[in-house]
Chains A and B, each alone.
Chain A
Amino acid sequence: MARSGATSFPSYRREELEAFEALIDRHGRRIYNIAYRMAGNDADAKDLTQEAFIRIFRAFRRINPDASLESWLYRIVSNLYIDMLRRRPKVRIESLDAPVLTPKGGEVQREVPDERADPAEEVLNTQLDAGVQRALLALSPDLRAVVVLSDIDGYSYEEIGTMLHVPVGTVKSRLHRARRTLQERLQHFRQRRSEG
């Protein structure tokens, strides 16, 4: 990461800029990863990550140094994602099995590679990643945020409750619902594993 240093941020003191840079170093990758798992693509993950850090930057001087910036960052990312969905009502999950209408009025089926066909380990991992990501995207943003924070990032229910501003009981029920939905969608990975 190329850092341009104090000259980039004329309104902050050197030590404040250093603290902000350290914050990006410490949390940047994880925030990006969460944003990617929430949004499902790199372009949106990039925008969400940058916007989250810009918000932190704007408020940096007013932030209590003892406050958990981490949980604030994660809350910002999930709220930004939900805002993004609201602003973009056209975004919807489309079934890959649904036929595509052609300009002449006909229907064609998408050609989707069969995930269970290639035995190569790397391809399997890529497919697994894509398959899990698709299953995640099919969840509602509320359920997705909880399951990403819990199962991908390993936060406790209490931490997730703090990040998302919801009671622990809500975290618990959302997580259970999310996992149950995911397990139905990801069943074939389990079957393949038991076959292999």
Chain B
Amino acid sequence: MGHARLERQLSAFLDNELTADDAQEVRAHLETCVACREELQRLEHVKRLLGSLPERAPAPQVWEELRERLDAQAPRESAGVLEAIRNAFRRPALALAAAAIVVLLIAVPLVKGRIDRLRAAEVGPDVFVREHALSAVADPFADRAYVGLLVTDANLVLISEPRSRGSVR
């Protein structure tokens, strides 16, 4: 390395940031170069001067204000309902209860709806027969006793008390 290049290595030499070979080369150059020796001293002085500067202590208000600014900027969307939900889910018992309620809310209407549909299918023919029987009452030639029997029969089915087998024949 030439003088100019070695001169540019002096700061790194001062900071022990050169490889062993490069440091050795700089050291050998310093033996013979007065200008570089002086330059090294000046650089060392700057480094020492900066290192001797007292630490600038912050005023306590720096941290108080920081806290106020953080409060003002804290993400509020997670603070309300979402946070309550999150908190609840950190407790297993509450989480389980919440899950059970959700399952019940969904399952009960589903099951009940299905039962109602099955029941409707079961009583459907009876509703049909009853309606026709009632309209047949208007017919002067209809057997009123038989029509009465049909209507009663259907009514019994609709109020969930189907007639016993063979009770009327």
Which residue of the partner chain, among A33, A125, A147, A151, contacts B56 with CB atoms under 8 Å? A33
Q: Residues of A contacting B61 with CB < 8 Å?
A: 46
B114: chain A residues within 8 A (beta carbon): none
The reply to whether the CB of B133 lies closer than 8 angstroms to some CB of chain A is no
A9 & B71 in contact (Cβ 8 Å cutoff): yes
CB pair B60 A1 closer than 8 Å: yes
B62:A50 contact, CB within 8 angstroms: yes
A154 to B43, CA, bound (A): 15
| CB-contacts of A78-112 with B (<8 A) | none
Q: Does B109 contact A (CB under 8 A)?
A: no
Among B10, B12, B79, which residue has its beta carbon within 8 angstroms of that of A10? B79
A140 within 8 A of B: no
Q: Write out the residue numbers on chain A whose beta carbons fall within 8 Å of the beta carbon of B56.
A: 32-33, 36-37, 42, 45
- What is the chain A residue whose CB lies nearest that of B70? A57
Q: Please name all residues of chain A whose beta carbon is closer than 8 Å to the beta carbon of B11 when the two chains form the complex.
A: 172, 175-176, 179
**B55 contacts which of A24, A29, A42, A54 (Cβ < 8 Å)?**
A29
| Contact assessment for B74 and A11 in the assembled complex, using a CB-CB cutoff below 8 Å | yes
Q: Is A74 an interface residue (CB 8 A)?
A: no
A-B contact count (CB 8 A): 121
Q: Is the CB of A10 within 8 A of B69?
A: no
Q: If A2-B64, A151-B50 touch, does A54 touch B45 (CB 8 Å cutoff)?
A: no
Interface contact A9-B70, CB-CB below 8 Å: yes
CA distance A98 to B43 in the complex (A): 29
Give the CA-CA distance A169 to B117 in the complex, in Å: 81
Interface residues of B, dominant DSSP: helix
Q: A33-B55, A150-B15 are in contact. Are A8 and B42 (CB under 8 A)?
A: no
Q: B8 on the interface (CB 8 Å rule)?
A: yes
Most chain B beta carbons < 10 A, residue from A28, A150, A151, A186? A151
Q: Are A183 and B42 in contact (CB under 8 A)?
A: yes
Question: Is A157 a contact partner of B42 (Cβ separation < 8 A)?
Answer: no
In the assembly, what is the distance between CA of A107 and CA of B48, in Å? 39
CA distance A173 to B11 in the complex (A): 9
List CB contacts (< 8 Å) of A1-20 with chain B.
1-4, 8-11
In the complex, A138 has a CB within 8 A of chain B: no
Q: Which residue of the partner chain B has the closest CB to A9?
A: B74
Is residue B81 contacting chain A, with contact meaning CB distance below 8 A? no
Contact B8 A176, beta carbon cutoff 8 Å: yes
Please indicate the chain A residues that have their CB under 8 angstroms from the CB of B73 in the complex: 54, 58
* With A11-B74, A172-B11 as contacts: A49 and B53 at CB distance below 8 Å: no
**A interface residue numbers (CB < 8 A to B):** 1-4, 8-11, 24, 28-29, 32-33, 36-37, 42, 45-46, 49-50, 53-54, 57-58, 125, 128-129, 132, 147-148, 150-152, 154, 156-157, 172-173, 175-176, 179-180, 182-183, 186, 189-190
What are 13 A-B interface contacts by the 8 Å CB criterion? A8-B71, A9-B74, A29-B58, A46-B58, A46-B59, A50-B62, A50-B66, A54-B66, A150-B15, A151-B47, A152-B50, A157-B15, A190-B42
